[in-house]
Amino acid sequence: MRILLAEDDEKLNETLVYGLTQAGFIVDACFDGEDALFYGEQNIYDVILLDRMLPCMQGTDVLTALRQKGIATPVILITALGTLSDKVTGLDLGADDYLVKPFAQEELLARIRCVTRRPRQIVDEETTFVSDITWFPAENRLMGPKASCTLSKREAALLEIFIKSGGATLPRSLLLLKVWGPESDVENGNLDNYIHFLRRRLNTVGSVLTIKTVRGVGYSLTGI
């Protein structure tokens, strides 16, 4: 799961990045509202942790801009402003939750679990069933008709993106953004390598699912 953290307090930012990384999240961090909006507009995050009072652009303005662009990524506002009117304003602007400083790491993790607990057609909280495979995200384990195997984090991220795509063709640029992030300088060859690895995993478990190369565009998962 990839998280965007926008917090201008450098010490708190560093502390949160460490804690979230230790909890297994991929975290992109920034320190002002303009960067938060830029990263948020990429629409590659599962959750956005947004400080309400940021330099350059207020967190509430960032939130409003994201919602106006149709980006529905769950947003948790993090702020020292804890009055009832502050909370109501933040929620009315489109925030999914509101966390008042100071807070415990355990509470933040619980809030993240809460806002990401959304109904899905093919994915529940523990298991995904697609065609002839079963995907266990908590274990990064893939099971098919013939065998099961464990995927690396990159392979797992790619598989989840393909599953959620419903068979749509995914551009290479989108896959690179979602798996490696907007600041990564990863080369296209790395994506090709991981596509090869994932194809081999699907073949190992005996699945009919295949990853098709769409020339000049990207890839699609076929057999769904």
Give start-end residues of each CATH 1.10.10.10 domain in the chain. Answer: 128-222
Query: Domain 128-222 classified CATH 3.60.15.10?
Result: no
Q: Which residues have CB under 8 Å from 188's CB, separation 6+?
A: 172, 176
CA 157 to each of CA 20, 22, 46, 175: distance values in angstroms, whole numbers, following the listed order: 17, 18, 12, 9
Contact 155, 198 (CB under 8 A): yes
The CATH architecture annotation of domain 2-115 reads: 3-Layer(aba) Sandwich (3.40)
Give start-end residues of each CATH 3.40.50.2300 domain in the chain. Answer: 2-115
Cα angle: 165, vertex 167, 172; to 5 degrees: 65
Residue 112 CA, distance from chain mean position = 11
* 2-11 pLDDT per residue, tens: 899 999 999 9
* 107-134 pLDDT per residue, tens: 999 989 888 765 443 444 467 888 899 9
Q: In the prediction, which pLDDT does 30 show? A: 94
Lowest average pLDDT, out of 4-13, 43-52, 124-133, 146-155, goes to 124-133
* 183-201 pLDDT per residue, tens: 666 676 788 999 999 999 9
The whole-model pTM stands at: 0.59
* 59-77 pLDDT per residue, tens: 999 999 998 888 888 999 9
Q: Which of 14-18, 171-175, 188-192 is most confident?
A: 14-18
- Give 212: exposed, middle or buried? Use CB within 10 Å, 0-12, 13-18, 19+: middle
pLDDT at 17 over 90: yes
The DSSP secondary structure of 130-178, one letter per residue, reads ETTEEEETTTTEEE-SS-EEEPPHHHHHHHHHHHHHTT--EEHHHHHHH
- Kind plus residue range of the DSSP H or E element containing 203: helix 188-204
